[in-house]
């Protein structure tokens, strides 16, 4: 069974960087699919942030393009999110998810990140 698990700090100070890890079991991230980060803000709005493909290419939401980086460690079957220069508006629950051609079929349980001094 495919499982995704996010980890990382739950509190980040404004202007610092947010760093999260998604650990994948049950599927090798270099075998196929795109591996995405999605966030849900307080109040239900959801935003796709970007992905790293099975081949290592990346694609980011233009709204975040200057601040976001998604990388991976294939030896650990993990991929990572780094979001720079965070503000309180980046407070959200962050999910990693697998995306095929059409949809996000497997999601992690999410990690709540608060940006506050």
Partner 1 sequence: DVVMTQTPVSLSVSLGGQVSISCRSSQSLVHNNGNTYLSWYLQKPGQSPQLLIYKVSNRFSGISDRFSGSGSGTDFTLKISRVEPDDLGVYYCGQGTQYPWTFGGGTKLELK
Would you tell me which residues interact with partner 1 (CB under 8 A)? 44-48, 59, 61-63, 95, 99, 101-105, 107-110
The nearest distance, CB 52 to partner 1, in angstroms, is 15
In whole angstroms, how close is the CB of 41 to partner 1 at the nearest point? 11
The residue (of 12 and 94) whose beta carbon lies closer to partner 1 is 94
To partner 1, the closest distance from the beta carbon of 101 in angstroms equals 8
Q: How far apart are CA 72 and CA 53, in angstroms?
A: 10
Return the number of the residue (14 or 112) whose C-beta is nearest partner 1: 112
> What is the number of residues in the chain?
117
**Residue 103 or 117 with smaller CB distance to partner 1:** 103
Q: How far apart are CA 4 and CA 116, in angstroms?
A: 27
80 vs 107 by CB, closer to partner 1? 107
Q: What is the spatial distance between Cα 98 and Cα 105, in angstroms, rounded to a whole number?
A: 6
Whole-angstrom distance, CA of residue 64 vs CA of residue 54: 21
Give how far Cα 90 sits from Cα of 3, 23, 50, 93, Å. 25, 22, 15, 9
Provide the minimum distance between the beta carbon of 61 and partner 1 in the complex, in angstroms, as a whole number.
Answer: 4
């Amino acid at each position: 069974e495919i499982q995704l698990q996010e980890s990382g700090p739950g509190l980040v100070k404004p202007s610092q960087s947010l760093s999260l890890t998604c650990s994948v079991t049950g599927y090798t991230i270099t075998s196929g699919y795109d591996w995405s980060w999605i966030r849900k803000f307080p109040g239900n709005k959801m935003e796709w942030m970007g992905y790293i493909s099975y081949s290592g290419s990346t694609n980011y939401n233009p709204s975040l393009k200057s601040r976001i980086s998604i990388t991976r460690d294939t030896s650990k079957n993990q991929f990572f999110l780094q979001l720079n220069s965070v503000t309180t508006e980046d407070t959200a629950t962050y999910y990693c998810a697998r995306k095929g051609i059409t949809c996000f079929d497997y999601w992690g349980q999410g990690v709540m990140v608060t940006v506050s001094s």
